[in-house]
Amino acid sequence: MKTVNKNEFIDWYFEDLEKDTLKNLCINLSLGKTNIQQIFNECGYIPSHLIIEEVKNDNKEFTPNEDCILLDLVDKIQQAKDLLKDNGYFVDNLWTIHDVKKIFECSTNQAQEILKESLVNDSITDQVNLNIRLSGENKNLTAIEDMEEEVV
């Protein structure tokens, strides 16, 4: 089953609503009378550009809950980030293919390759290591190599 990003669905669905309809929908959402899953279920169609696994520029339409499901990626991504953070990784600055696709019309694979070439290189690594050292020194931390010299 194909999946739809919840945030993209919300942006698309709310984009062209009349002001009064939008106001009533927001009131019903805040009162718990409806939710995004219900709106998705009752939506007549989902355009292909909202389908994660589809080419973004064709004109296919999908039927909610028959052809596609709503995937709340935000929660899943946050869970993954929390897991990584709990295991020592820094996750506050992540790049996605969308950062590339805002600049270029390209495939997901091309965007991934551009990110790899942009982020995985010696100059970026050297700059990050230099900034780590400078930040630590600004906090008056003792560098490991300084500690090793004292022991000898």
- Structure confidence at residue 125 as a pLDDT band (50, 70, 90): very high
State both tokens at 3: 């999946």
Residue 61 has phi, psi (to 5 degrees) of -125, 150
Which pLDDT does position 62 carry in this prediction?
A: 86
* Strand 68-71 with 2-5, pairing: parallel
* pTM summary value: 0.50
Q: Is residue 125 part of a domain?
A: no
Which pLDDT does position 119 carry in this prediction?
A: 95
Percentage of the chain beyond pLDDT 90 is: 43
State both tokens at 152: 């000898």
Which pLDDT does position 55 carry in this prediction?
A: 65
> Is pLDDT above 60 for 134?
yes
Read off the pLDDT of residues 31-79 as tens digits, 9 standing for 90 and up.
989 989 899 888 888 988 888 876 666 678 888 877 888 877 557 778 8
Q: Is residue 100 part of a domain?
A: no
Q: Is residue 137 part of a domain?
A: no
Q: Is residue 18 part of a domain?
A: yes
- Structure confidence at residue 146 as a pLDDT band (50, 70, 90): low
d(CA 6, CA 26): 16
- Structure confidence at residue 116 as a pLDDT band (50, 70, 90): very high
Q: Is residue 37 part of a domain?
A: yes
Q: Is residue 133 part of a domain?
A: no
State both tokens at 76: 């899943």
Average pLDDT, the chain: 87
- The residue segments making up the domain with residue 16 are 2-89
Q: Is residue 152 part of a domain?
A: no
d(CA 67, CA 45): 10
- Tell me the Ramachandran region of residue 129: left when phi exceeds 0, alpha when psi lies from -120 to 50, beta otherwise: alpha
In order of 43, 51, 64, 95, 123, the CA distances from 67 in angstroms are: 13, 10, 6, 29, 45
Domain count for the chain: 1
Q: Which amino acid is at 120?
A: V
Q: Mean pLDDT, to the nearest integer, of 107-125? A: 93
Q: Is residue 39 part of a domain?
A: yes
> Is pLDDT above 60 for 129?
yes
